[in-house]
Structure formats: C-alpha cells, structure tokens
A and B are shown apart, each in its own frame.
Chain A
Amino acid sequence: MNWEIVIGLETHVELATRSKIFCGCSTAFGAAPNTLCCPVCLGLPGALPVLNEQAVELAVKAALALNCTVTPVSRFDRKNYFYPDLPKAYQISQLYAPLARNGHLDLPDGRRIRISEMHLEEDAGKLHHHDDRTAIDYNRCGVPLIEIVTAPDLSGGEDAVAYLERLRSILQYLGVSDCRMEEGSLRCDVNLSVRPAGSSELGVRTELKNLGSLRAVRLACEYEAQRQIAILESGGQVRCQTCRWDEDARRTVPMRDKEQVGDYRYFPDPDLPPLAVSGEQLNRLRSKQPELAHEKCARYARDWSLSDYDCTTLTSRRELAAFFEQVVSLGAPPKQAANWIMGQVLRRLSADGLDVEEIPITAQALADLIHLVERGTINRNTAVEVFDAVFTGGDPTQYVRAHHLEQSSNTEQITAAVEETLSQNRKSVEDWLSGKEKAAGFLMGQAMRTLGGKAPPALVSEIVRQLLEREKSQ
C-alpha cells in the first residue's frame, strides 16, 4: 500500500527583545545561572507582570509577514501545571484569543502551508540534571516566545525542513528572532501521522520533541513515518503519544501517552488587561516591513540575471544580502560582486571563523577591488592577493600602488618576457611542437611568473601562442 505522511509543526521562536516579556530582566544567552532574574520572572509572591511592548511589536511583525489576521483584542491566559522550571506554576500564554490566526507561508516550490494560529507566551526555566540531583536555571524564565502552529499541510521530513528554513529566513529578515536552533531560540515540535494515499481522514498522530537541528527534524520525521507505517502494515495501531528524538540512537522514544496529559485549567490571566493592536499600529508595521529573502531572490534574478544558486546563497542571510546590495550600489557589476562574495568573502569568513554579521571588509573596498580588475589595473590573481591583504582593513587602490602591482599592457615588454621564457624552457617548446597542447599552459604560467603576475593573462596567453606558432613555422 502507498502511504501518505501528514505533518503539522508547532514552532517556538524566541523574540529578539532586549528584556523579558513581563519584566525588565535581560534575555542574553549564556549568562551564569540565575543571574538574569527578578521577583517578577521568579514569580515571587506579590510580584506582577507588565507586558513588554517590543515583544508585541515583534510578534505582530511576524504575524503580518506570515499573512495572518491579527486579532484586534487578544488576551493572555494562564496555563496551569506544576513543574520545577515553572516558578508561578502557570505559564502566561494565549489560548482563547491568540494574537493572530489564519496565515500562510509559501514553500519555495510554491505550495502554500496554512498557519492556523500564532500566539505570545513566556518561556520556562531550564533544568540541568546531574547524577543525583537537578539544578534549575531561571534565566530563560520569561523570555518572550511566539508559537506558530501550522495546519497538517506538510508531507514529509524534507517539507518540514523547507518550511522551517523559509520561516527562519523570514523571521531573521524581520529582525524578529535570531532563530538559532542550537541556542534554542527556534524550537520545533512535529505532529506526524500517516494514512493510505488518497484518504482524507487523518491517522493517529504522535508528537515529536527534542529536535535540536533541521537534520534532526528531517531524520525524526523519516524515522517516525517508517515506524508508523510498519505498525499499520503489520495490522497494529499507532498510539497517540509524545516521543522524544534520541539523537545518538537516531530513533524516537515514547515519553508519555497523550491521554495522560493533564488538564491545564486555562483561564484568562486577571493580572493582565486585554491586548489591543490598533489598525494604525498594523499599518505602521506593515509599511516598515523589509523586503524578504524570497522577494530579493526574485528581484536579483529578474533585474540582474543572477542564477538561482547565486540568488539563494546571497539571500540566505539578511546581512549577506545587504552587503551584496551595497557593493552593487557602489557600481560593481552584480555578477562580479556575487562571485566575489560567494567565493572569496565566504571563504575568508569561514577561514577566520567569522559570521556574516561580522564581515570586516567594507563594501566600498570590495567595490574598489572589483573596479581595479574591471579596468585591467590588476589581474584576477593579483586581486585575490590584494583582497586577502585588505580583508581586515585597508584601501585596495593604495595597496596596489604601494606594492607596485599594476599590470603592464606594454606588448613589447610582454613579448620580451615570453621570448625569454621560451628560450629558458626549450623542452616544453619541443613538447608543444610535438603536439602536447598542455605545454602551452605551462609556458603561459612561466611567462606570467617572469612578469610578476602584473600583465593581463589574456594578452600574455595570446603572445605565447603567437610566438609558439612562429616557432612551428620556422
């Protein structure tokens, strides 16, 4: 039988606010345990929550970019349960009137994934299990989150990853979140079921947790789908349960049956008034929405005829795309700028262990360097040398001048150098004459060396060929 995989995702995204959602504590990642806490986020008796407006603004930005309808007056509800990482024994979340509903996100292949709702909530603390005891770090307690819930519109691990990549790109472009899965600022739970192909009924689903990377999402989906199919094909029934992805064993491990999950006794939080988002506020945020990655992609392809690959790579990060656009705006031909950035810039960033947020070379310097090559002042090989020299700072034009790297287009000078090369490499000349075409390339390289690299390679190549032809005719 053919099986169809049905997946819905619940994604928690940490908002990039400076302070927590209901108090002024910092949201910095990696601070010493329990140093970013106050009476409010620790839920001490008598402390009260006050909503962070920046969190609302970021969440609304995300909702608009995901084509959601923003609820004019949403509300906060308490989700009550006992757990040591939850100091108030309830999480402030939104159940009855979430911030936004009915959105969608389009995958690169054009398929539309429906987003059923998006709501604001606070994060819990973190437990650290040691051999015989558990320590609790409340730093993360009260960090603002949005939870984005899709309809069951995804049909496999690859789909889930494609959705998450597009979602991440959108949220990063908006500045809503840094979406670092490894730091937990983007976390994803998968709801997965299978059904006979063509069936319109949903099968019994399982929920997958502890997915720390996109790869884990893909592998877990693939594993779980196969597991469920195997159960159904052997005549069994899938249990509705929550499973944990075991990264080492590469399998899903049941945690608890869904039926056992407690009743969260949700009710409106009486400490927080309803949250109103005005039409004016929506218009203001809508008008400030930046061009998103897939929109840039389309524009680069249309206006500058860049390849799909170039467009996708350049727009993979907002900072990279911004750098690229700046270099082009300074007059560099788009294709040249793209080649330099995707080649040399990414190579050096990786070699120096830098992120694209930290590109040290200025857009002006790179544009100048491209001009030097375009004008023929230096050749490409010299340009790479100059690039490495000025990557962490410096002016390419000055560098070229100071190091006398300008190439010569003086034909007499080049001819003399080539003649000298041929006379010193008679063996290679003989090889060429006897039909070994490769020897020409060697001689070309030697000639460039004699010239100290400071000559247009095309011109040198042409002269090498002329002189070799002359030898042949002699």
Chain B
Amino acid sequence: MNTLFELTALELAAAISRGELSSKEALLFSNSACTANADKLNCFTSFSASDPIAAAPVSPLSGVPMAVKDNICVAGTATTCASRMLRDFIPPYTATAVEKLTAAGAVCAGKTNLDEFAIGSTSETSFFGPVKNPWNLEYSPGGSSGGSAAAVAAGLVWYALGSDTGGSIRHPAACCGVTGMKPTYGTVSRYGLVSYASSFDQIGPIARNAADCAAVLDMIRGHDGRDSTSLPGPYLPLSPQLTGDLHGVRIGIPDVYFDEAVDEPTRRAILSCADTLRRRGALVESCHAVGLEHAVHAYYVLACAQASSNLARYDGVRYGCRAEDTHDVQDLFVRSRSLGFGREVRRRILLGTYLLSGDNYETYYKKAVAVRHQVENTFRALWHNYDLLLTPVLPGPPPKLGQEANNPVALYQEDRYVACANLAGLPALSMPCGMHKEGLPIGAQLLGPHMADGAVLNAAFAFQQETDFHRLHPPIFGLGGDAG
C-alpha cells in the first residue's frame, strides 16, 4: 500500500478502473493517512463519512479521494470558512464544482482548513488554528488554501479544491511543493463558493502535477446558469491539450516581477525553469512590463471593498454566530460580528468599509478600477509578443508561522506576483521548480491570456516531463503517509 501515494490522481483512477484496487480501499488508505497525520498539520476542518459507491468508472478520476476547501459548500456538511461565525453552518446546497466532481465519481474525504473566509496568505487566521507546512512544521503552508495544499503535499488526498482570490491557490501550492491552478475567471462556477471578493474569487485544483489539474478542471469547468459571471464557453477539453510540445511558444519573464525582492534561490530556480522550458522548444526571454506596479494596491482596495459587503450578511440574525443578551438589534449586529470574526477579517472589513464611505468611493475605489483596466491593457499588450509569462510566486521561502500578525502591509505586498492574474481574470498556475536550503519548496508561476488555460497547463506539463520537483515528498511524511 505504501506505493499508493507515488501514484498521481490519474494513475490511481486508472488502477481502480483496472480493478487493481477499489475506490473504497483508496478512501480507507486516505482515511488512515489522515488519521495519522492530519492533526499534526491541522489541515482539515472535518472529515466526510461518505462511502464510495462501487460503480463503473464515469470519469478519468472516478473513485479518487479528494478534499474540498472549507469555504465551498457541500450540502449537509458544515461549511465553516474556518470562522467562528460559521462554525455550525450547514448549507442546504452543494457548490456546482463539487456537484460536478461528485457526478464524475470523486470521493470527498473532508473539508480543508484555510485562512478565515479565505482572507490571508498564511492559513494562520483560521478559527481552528494555523495549518502547518508538511515540509517543515515551523513554517506556514501559504494561504489561504493552505489546508488543501498541505493535504495534497502530505499525501492525505490525491487532489483538493481550493479557491483563489489573490493567489490563494498558487501561493500555498508553491509553499507546499504541489501544482495549483487558478483557471480563467468565469470558467468554474462560483455557485456555492462563499464569496470573499466576487470579481476575483475562482475555484481551482491543487494536485501533484499539471495533468491531474487538467483532469480536475475538465470535470469542473463549464457554464453554470446559477452564476451570472460564468462564461458561456466554448470549453475545449484541457487534457488533450497536454502535448508537452513547446516549440514556438514565446514565454516572457516580466522584469517587474523579477525584482530585487526575489531571493537568490528563487531567482536561480526560475532561471533554471526557463532553461528547461527552452529545452522543450520554448523561446524564453526577459521582458519589460509597464503598468503593473500598482496592481497589488488596486487588488487590495477592490478586494477589501467587496469583502466588506460580502461579509455584511453575517449579522447573527438568521444563522451563524449570535451574541447573547443583546439589548437591541444594533447591539446584536455589532456584538455578533465582533465575536464571530477574527482580527484579520475585521481589519479587511473595516478597510473595505472605509474605502467605500463617502468620497472615498471616488478617491480609492474608482481609481483602483482604473488601475485594473490599466493592468488588463498591459497584459493585452504583452500577449502581442508572448504566449505565456513566467514569474515567481513569492519572493522567498514560505513565511514562518507566527509572523503573520507583525506587519500586514508587508505581507500584502508579497501578493504582488500572484494578485495581478486575479485582477485581469487570467489563468495562472504554480508548480514546484526548486528547493530552498531549509528544505522548503520553490514555486514558479505560469500565466496565460484569457481562456488560454490549456497553454498554461501544457507548459507546466512539459516542464514536469523534464523535472522531478513535483515527485518530491515531504521527508517527515515520507511515502504512504507514514508519520516517520
């Protein structure tokens, strides 16, 4: 059984369909790995009791145990958003993405821990405590989908759903040495994803490699009448686009994201990644990009403003955390919200409220919208010369646990490598491309034009055909989930 975790999700599904093992055995394996290790990592908020139905395979991922970030609704299962506010909230409906996975024969092993309401980039702001990095328990797994990335990296499930508003899939994927993809905005339904910043939120997969990501996306993409921002398509299947051929593919490394903040190991890893891509036929060169300098600032203005409105519904009246002995309805609102939300969430709600108040809408919000358009134009211009862009995901090793509280603005700045993709709605992927000397993974980001998800995945696929970074496993978890 020890070798099961050497398999990718697609390989496991193939083994199940060949009858070499049952999906029930795969789930039991996942369950026992979780039992042994999940506590150490604090990467789950709950486990599912679901029994896989022994049925004929209905998709290339049939029977493979996976996990769902706990801000994505699954009917009848607590969807806590890692917040005291929703610790007892059980939605009566299932997110479209999960519904599609279930229909494709996926087996949900549990819900994964995250930064409260997906707000954060260290997975430390959870009401249930911080998630730990499987490569080094002193470090953060990144965030906000830290539970999903840690669970995949530690070999507890074969893939997981995350959500990405400003890097929340790619950042933890990079920190945990796994592959994570934020698809083009509007290609995966947001129905059932608890909103943080609606114009950026996007569900996507975290898996061992690009091929698994493509397989998951092929199951969850598509137009959904329940989400008005869902794109009509057409949706060409992604998996067949993984040819590994990069001949003639032009890849730019924007100077703005290859700045002095990027540390030496990360720089070397990205440059080496560029060499590998060249070996597969790509033309890789550094390029100059103007107009992205303020992207991260605009992102924070818009995200906080939307969060302040999206999170206003948690008022203690209908569901969720409710303060006791309140003397009027205003008091009920104030005290329930003060009690239910953690510090970082409160900070962003207050920031967002401020940004929309009075004249600030003109001063900040509208300016941020203008910056967003500028960012879109900058990318549009870049696509004249390049098919893809290559950047770091974060400038150095993952943050150490306990640093989060010290300097939020410095932490916000670190999102600049990833938030630009959300601002422009572009497909972007993070893949492991090296190691820091502390034994922590380094990630590289590939970014593509609108709806070029297949091209992004293919470049990662080609890279992973050449390299073994995606096959590395955290030594303390070893293979097969042995606690070691």
- A interface residue numbers (CB < 8 A to B): 39, 42-51, 78, 80, 82, 84, 87-90, 134, 136, 263, 265-267, 270-273
Contacts and interface: CB of A to CB of B under 8 A. Distances in A.
Contact of B309 (A46, A78, A84, A272): A78
Consensus secondary structure, chain A interface: loop
B88 to A, nearest CB: 13
Contact of B198 (A45, A80, A271): A271
A251 to B, nearest CB: 27
A342 B319 CA distance: 55
Nearest to A127: B329
B313 A267 contact: no
Contacts of A42: 318
21 contacts: A39-B92, A45-B73, A45-B91, A45-B314, A46-B73, A47-B93, A48-B226, A48-B227, A48-B228, A80-B312, A80-B356, A89-B315, A90-B309, A136-B317, A265-B309, A265-B357, A266-B356, A271-B198, A271-B229, A272-B228, A273-B229
Nearest to A272: B228
Contact of B361 (A49, A50, A87, A265): A265
Nearest to B318: A87
B305 A82 contact: no
A141 B72 CA distance: 25
Contacts of A43: 313
A37 to B, nearest CB: 10
Contact of A48 (B191, B314, B356, B357): B191
Contacts of B178: none
A203 to B, nearest CB: 26
Contact of A265 (B192, B195, B353): B353
Contacts of B198: 270-271
Contacts of A39: 91-93
Contacts of A271: 195, 198, 228-229
Nearest to B95: A46
Nearest to A23: B226
Given A80-B312, A80-B356, A46 B192 contact: yes
A45 B81 CA distance: 10
B191 A46 contact: yes
Interface in B272-316: 305-306, 308-309, 312-315
Contacts of B318: 42, 87
A127 B79 CA distance: 29
A273 B361 CA distance: 20
Interface string B192-203: 111101110000
A136 B316 CA distance: 14
B358 A263 contact: yes
With a 10 A CB-CB cut-off, give which of B198, B314, B330 has the most chain A CB atoms.
B198
Contacts of A89: 309, 312-313, 315
B93 A50 contact: no
A88 B312 contact: yes
With a 10 A CB-CB cut-off, give which of A78, A266, A267 has the most chain B CB atoms.
A267
A43 B357 CA distance: 23
Nearest to B194: A45
B365 interface: yes
A45 B83 CA distance: 13
A48 B190 contact: yes
Nearest to B81: A45
A90 to B, nearest CB: 6
With a 10 A CB-CB cut-off, give which of B225, B313, B314 has the most chain A CB atoms.
B313
B308 to A, nearest CB: 8
B383 interface: no
A218 B227 CA distance: 45
Contacts of B315: 82, 84, 89
A263 B317 CA distance: 22
Interface in B39-77: 72-73
A84 B365 CA distance: 28
B412 interface: no
Given A46-B72, A82-B312, A88-B313, 15 more contacts: A44-B93, A46-B91, A46-B193, A50-B227, A84-B315, A84-B329, A87-B318, A89-B315, A263-B357, A265-B361, A267-B306, A267-B356, A271-B229, A272-B229, A273-B229
Interface string B324-341: 000001100100000000
With a 10 A CB-CB cut-off, give which of B91, B317, B365 has the most chain A CB atoms.
B317
Contacts of B194: 45-46
